């Protein structure tokens, strides 16, 4: 699975975890007051990044890993979008939202690169099975 021994070694997982921790700290762990719907959506999407990377890794095949990376990438982009909403509804300032958006975008790019790496491997595996 991409040459990793543990999902914790995957840099995209590490960046996603840090993003989740930063968002949780920003919201103070208190999701019960004001903008609950938005806080909840952002945190769920952020957690989904790391969970999908880990789950895909745990599936045991490059094809499954690549599929779950697609979900993780979608979640990273969802975080980006939610942070735009948070800014527009004056829940977060530009100074708060922008670095988090950049980190979510960076995570999305990292996941995409890992997907690209796995896709050719999957195609090679398919070709080898036809020739066997």
pLDDT digits (tens, 9 = 90+) for 45-78: 999 999 999 999 999 888 899 999 999 999 999 9
Domain spans of the chain, in order of start:
7-131
**Tell me, what's the pLDDT at 128?**
53
- Which one-letter DSSP state was computed for residue 31? -
- Which one-letter DSSP state was computed for residue 2? T
Q: How far is CA 50 from CA 11, 21, 32, 88, 131, in A?
A: 11, 11, 24, 26, 36
Counting beta carbons within 10 angstroms of the beta carbon of residue 65, is it exposed (0 to 12), middle (13 to 18) or buried (19 or more)?
buried
Q: Could you give the 3-state DSSP secondary structure of residue 60?
A: coil
Which pLDDT tens digit goes with each residue over 2-37? 678 899 999 999 999 999 999 999 987 665 567 888
pTM of the model: 0.84
User: Superfamily for 7-131?
Assistant: 23S rRNA-intervening sequence (1.20.1440.60)
**Tell me, what's the pLDDT at 32?**
54
CA distance 59 to 118: 14
Which pLDDT tens digit goes with each residue over 86-125? 999 999 999 999 999 999 999 999 999 999 988 765 455 5
**Tell me, what's the pLDDT at 67?**
94
């Amino acid at each position: 699975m991409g040459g990793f021994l543990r999902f914790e070694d995957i840099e995209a997982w590490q960046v996603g975890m840090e993003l989740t921790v930063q968002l949780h700290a920003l919201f103070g762990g208190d999701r019960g007051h004001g903008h609950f719907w938005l806080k909840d959506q952002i945190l769920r999407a952020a957690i989904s990044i790391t969970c999908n990377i880990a789950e895909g890794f745990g599936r045991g095949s490059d094809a499954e890993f690549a599929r779950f990376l697609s979900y993780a990438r979608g979640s990273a982009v969802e975080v980006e979008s939610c942070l735009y909403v948070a800014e527009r509804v004056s829940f977060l300032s530009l100074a708060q939202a922008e670095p988090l958006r950049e980190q979510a975008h960076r995570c999305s790019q990292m996941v995409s690169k890992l997907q690209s790496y796995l896709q050719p491997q999957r195609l090679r595996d398919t070709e080898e099975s036809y020739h066997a």
